[in-house]
A and B are shown apart, each in its own frame.
Chain A
Amino acid sequence: MIFSYHWLQSFFSKKLPKPEKLAEVLTMHSFETTCQYQNNLSNFFEKKGKREVLLDIDVLPNRGSDCFSHLGIAREISAVLNFPLNFSWEKSISFKEDPQLKTKDFIEVKVKSREDCLRYTGRIIFNIKVKPSPRWLREKLIACGLRPINNIVDIANYVMLEIGQPLHAFDFEKIEENKKGKKEIIVRRAKKGEKIVTLDGEEYELDENILIIADPKEPLAIAGIKGGKKAEIDEKTKTVILESANFSPTVIRQGSRHIDLKTDASWRFEHGLDPNLTELAINRAVSLIQKVAGGKIAQGLVDFYPQKIFPKKIILNLNEVEELLGAKISEKKVKDIFQRLEFKISKPAFASKSFQEKILEVEIPTFRQDLNLPEDLIEEIGRIYGFEKIPPNFPFASLIPPKRNFEVFWEGMAKDILKETGLVEVYNYSFIGEKEKNLFRFKEIIELENPTSADFKYLRPSLLPNLLKNILKNQRFFQQIKIFELGKIFRESKDKTKIEEKKMLSGAITGEAFFEVKGVVDFLFQRLGIPGVWYDQFQPTPEDTEVSLWHPTRCAEIKVDHQEIGFLGEISPNILESLKIKGKVVAFDIDFEKLSRLASEETVYQPISPYPAVIRDISILLPRKVLVEEVLNEIERNGGRLIADVDLFDIYEGEELPEGTKNLSFHIVYQDQDRPLSSEEVNEVHEKIIKAIEEKGWEVRK
């Protein structure tokens, strides 16, 4: 919020520090503050040599109740710098009431719902003259970003900027009378369908969520938010009803959101003002009106204030100050700080004498609505004293060794392993758009209630769509792209009552890379210490939503024993074409939570055999669709423990071979840990394997 430096100066007889210095002091003790020099403004006012200096003060939300005003900031400055305030209500409020005119003879205020309106104060001023405001008044409004309108409206705004209480002025003549011949002001919730045209000419349709000020016939204003056109002050206005009320922060906030209208007034009410302020503000305003616009002020105040607010008392244990802040601050210093903040201090009567010494009873002025707990007072001590002065001091604590977080540990391990294979880690948004949803035909997908844009409309149900987008973007600059991501995906649970949130580990490599990706996945499982990984040809069922994502004949389920851990395969050419990705993409998509549960840090060391290995080759002609896995199983089953390794070194399909067949060639490595193998022994096992293969109907080529 913008504050005028010169206006703030007017609260002090002592000269304030230079604006930059003041801004720094406020930043360190109250609110973050920056200086702005307004050259344009001084041109506008043709001031010579005197520039208006504005302070942009980021008032914290708990202090909206008192610091959205120059008086509030002046109080802060006074407390922080220990400068006495040259301000008193007596000085600010001086006006003459006309004893002939009694306010209560002219208006009647009816508050229908007490929770919505804590206080309603009104006054009437007769015979005023509406005209443009004097220069000093206009200058201050413009400096603070408000547009001058006329003297009455400007004074209402001025008082709001000065002391933080929003005021509203109605034209007395334009308000309907009740049966008693008095102007009647009703504070009530709007009825559904009721309409109001506000001062700026906008029409709003209202309902029960909106609190309004009405006369017996229709709405006059949206309470605490904006005035209505009906009772607007204009040049012909002679008599003014001034409203100074305290509305419930909740109702103003809800109403303001409901009709999407935020104003200087609504913003202040939302933060909860001191109900005792209404009277001071209205008296300050009539004092100024009388000075600037003349007129007769009717005697007395209409004041609806059923539950008066009194100052709170907080008991503070001085030991706790040191315990919480970790700095020794003397009782004298604490009392001094409280006095600067206008708190009243006493020793509570109830406590025993020794106990009493450490305890203060602190009375909080009602303008400090934000203070309720001893901790709140300790914060006040800390910030006025200066958090900066608190010395660093390592805690005394038991030595509890930090627990290892296994999920985080495996996450780091998996990322390192993939990095070793040459993959680059990416982070993508947790969202996908409508386009992706349709392209990948995602079903159990979570939609945002208030998305920021169509591209971020759903929570990602898979990491792959965004990885594919990464590939597209990088294809302009890189030949081969190898990327991975570890992140959370979101899906509707089967019974649609919960949202499943789980970590996935997915990656992609461009090009004819099925076996490269498979190699990466193998390496990952091996390094994570997970044995028993195998790849199962994927048999889609009709309701599988994944179907469209993968190439139907080039995709496998990654399994460990009987558990499905993820997918591996080429991305369907249709998808790639729709995304305009050139060439092929092979991806893996692994359930990271399952993976981390299986992972183990134990590496079992295999002793290196001192005895030589015997290698025999075998070449087998068999139908094309027989899986290598099957052949390997056959070899290993028959070879038993003498087989150290089987290595497929050639696959051949070609014209020389009968149609629909392929030729596989293996090195079979025979070795024993405990003794050298004789050639007879090896021959015997090798023959057994050949026999078994021939029994399967496959041809062993010799």
Chain B
Amino acid sequence: MHQVELKKIKIKAEKEIKEADSLKKLDEIFREYLGQKGILSNLTKSLSKLPKKKRASFGKEINAFKVELEMALEKKKKLLKERLEKEMMEKEWIDVTLPGKKIVPGHLHPLTQVQREVGEIFQQMGFSIVEGPEIETEWYNFDALNIPKDHPARDFWDTLYLKRPKSTLKLKILLRTHTSPVQVRFMEKNHPPLRIIVPGRVFRHEATDARHEINFHQVEGLMVDKRVSLANFRAIVEEFFLRFFNKKVKIRLRPSFFPFTEPSLEVDISCPSCDGKKKCSFCQNKGWLEVMGAGMVHPNVFKNSGLNPRDWRGFAFGMGLERLTMVKYKINDIRLFYSGDLRFLTQF
């Protein structure tokens, strides 16, 4: 009779477990059968009423059933958990293609970034960074650089002069038209050998358009030593452009004229936009871009800096930072740099 009852219980339990659809239900089933006052507990207690002979075998059966039941419950529990988890994950589905949250970072001006790059490359080649005043005297801006008064060469540099009270007017005061005055200022105070670059703002009396600005930036370079030649200059600038553009750009040296260098040169680079194929608007189909003026320091500049030109040789060069930046990022209007337009600045 007990066996029959146990069988019924088994069937019932199996059914209940099968039908259980929640962990809570499963828990109830557990308590119903395996709890302290559960069916199996009661059955075990009723064992004492059985004859001794049957007691042992029936006890074994109950225990076996208990284990079986526990396993079934465990199995079902796992199943339910998995299903639940799956349901929950389903609920937590997100559209991963939704846009990411906008980060609003700060930005450095492109000219700052390019100036740093230029500075780093030259520092690696042993050049120190030096600065000079933006307001200059005619002496440093022109005369000391071998650009005499009333000489057509001065027309190269359309100059902005400052209004000064008559009493202080010994020398005309102006906004430097190039960074070259710093050559003289530096050599007056520092004995060669020397290697410097001079980044800085310069000014021109010029109407602004896509290619011209009333103020812009230059980087001046100067190396003075006992033996320095144009061939040395060529090696230094080629290395600079190689590192700056991160690719082999061809450079071309052609004659030019600057009163403060002799010989004077213009440095062109093969257009990095079309690789010198003469097929782009950026270089106006020329294949070359003019990026730098250079030359060997003129003996008069050494003299005006208090050095004996027979003792020293040097090369000097100057390039426009805006120009370099425009070439690097293919920017077509110089005025963007001074527009303060965040739509432009936040791209860098």
Interface residues in chain A, defined as those with a beta carbon under 8 Å from any beta carbon in chain B = 27-32, 60-64, 249-250, 253-254, 270-271, 322-327, 373, 375-376, 378-379, 382-383, 387-388, 390-405, 407-408, 412, 415-416, 418-431, 446-452, 456, 459, 466-467, 469-470, 473-474, 477-478, 481-483, 487-488, 490, 496-497, 499, 501
Contacts and interface: CB of A to CB of B under 8 A. Distances in A.
Contacts of B232: 326, 393-395
B126 A397 contact: yes
Given A449-B161, A474-B342, A323 B229 contact: yes
Contacts of B168: 496-497
30 contacts: A62-B259, A249-B151, A253-B150, A324-B229, A324-B296, A325-B229, A325-B230, A378-B263, A379-B263, A393-B234, A394-B235, A398-B225, A402-B126, A415-B108, A416-B108, A419-B105, A424-B345, A425-B112, A429-B338, A430-B175, A450-B160, A452-B214, A456-B214, A470-B340, A474-B341, A477-B343, A483-B340, A488-B134, A488-B201, A496-B165
Contacts of B262: 373, 375-376, 378-379
What 7 pairs between A and B have smallest CB-CB spacing? A326-B231, A326-B229, A470-B340, A379-B263, A419-B106, A392-B235, A60-B257
Contacts of B214: 429, 431, 452, 456
A376 B231 CA distance: 18
Contacts of A62: 153, 257, 259
B29 interface: no
Contacts of A395: 223, 225, 227-229, 232, 235-236
Nearest to B223: A395
B253 interface: yes
Interface centre among A270, A376, A382, A496 (most CB of B within 10 A): A382
B263 A382 contact: yes
Contact of B109 (A402, A405, A427, A467): A427
A61 B155 contact: yes
Contacts of A60: 255-257
Interface of A is mostly: mixed
B342 A422 contact: no
Given A61-B153, A425-B112, A448-B163, A474 B340 contact: yes
Contacts of B230: 324-327, 382, 387, 390
Given A395-B228, A401-B126, A427-B338, A459 B162 contact: yes
A404 B130 CA distance: 9
Given A28-B252, A325-B230, 5 more contacts: A325-B263, A395-B236, A402-B129, A419-B108, A477-B343
From B105, B165, B235, B255, residue with most partner A Cβ within 10 Å: B255
A376 B341 CA distance: 47
Contacts of A270: 152
B116 to A, nearest CB: 7
Nearest to A63: B257
Contacts of B265: 387
B131 interface: yes
A426 B205 contact: no
B107 interface: yes
B126 A399 contact: yes
A397 B193 CA distance: 8
B152 A419 contact: no
Interface string B207-232: 10000001100000001010111111
Given A28-B254, A408-B119, A470-B340, A400 B234 contact: no
Nearest to A391: B231
B6 interface: no
A32 B254 CA distance: 9
Contacts of A408: 119, 129, 131
A427 B262 CA distance: 35
B323 interface: no
Interface residues of B, number: 81
Nearest to B126: A402
A61 B156 contact: yes
Given A323-B313, A326-B230, A424-B345, A271 B119 contact: no
Contacts of B337: 427
Contact of A419 (B107, B227, B254): B107
B44 interface: no
A483 B343 CA distance: 13
Contacts of B150: 249-250, 253-254
Contacts, number: 239
Query: Which of A398, A424, A450, A473 has the most chain B CB atoms inside 10 A of its CB?
Result: A424
A393 B234 CA distance: 7
A63 B296 CA distance: 19
A52 to B, nearest CB: 23
B173 interface: yes
Given A61-B153, A408-B119, A501 B257 contact: no
A501 B133 contact: yes
Contacts of A449: 160-163
A418 B262 CA distance: 44
Nearest to B322: A427
A242 to B, nearest CB: 26
A415 B109 CA distance: 10
Contacts of A392: 231, 234-235, 238
Nearest to A382: B263
Contacts of B151: 249, 253
Interface in B47-106: 104-106
Given A379-B262, A482-B106, A387 B231 contact: no
Contacts of B313: 323-324
B338 A428 contact: yes
B128 interface: yes
Contacts of B338: 427-429
A399 B108 CA distance: 33
A47 to B, nearest CB: 28
A421 B106 CA distance: 7
Contact of A424 (B234, B298, B339, B342): B342
Contacts of A421: 106
Given A402-B123, A405-B128, A428-B338, A379 B264 contact: yes
Contacts of B257: 60-63
A318 to B, nearest CB: 15
Contact of B106 (A63, A402, A424): A424
Interface string B160-197: 11110100100001010000000000000000010100
Contacts of A28: 252, 254-255
B127 interface: yes
Contacts of B109: 425-427
B135 interface: yes
B106 A422 contact: yes
B184 to A, nearest CB: 18
A265 to B, nearest CB: 14
B27 interface: no
Contacts of A388: 252-254
Nearest to A422: B106
A63 to B, nearest CB: 7
A174 to B, nearest CB: 33
Given A373-B262, A415-B112, A430-B201, A390 B106 contact: no
B272 interface: no
A402 B111 contact: no
A449 B169 CA distance: 13
Nearest to A60: B257
A478 B236 contact: no
Contacts of A250: 150
A387 B225 CA distance: 21
A47 B24 CA distance: 107
Given A419-B108, A425-B345, A373 B299 contact: yes
Given A60-B255, A253-B152, A446 B163 contact: yes
A324 B152 CA distance: 27
Contacts of B299: 373, 375
Contacts of B126: 397, 399-402
Given A400-B195, A428-B340, A499 B254 contact: no
Nearest to B233: A326
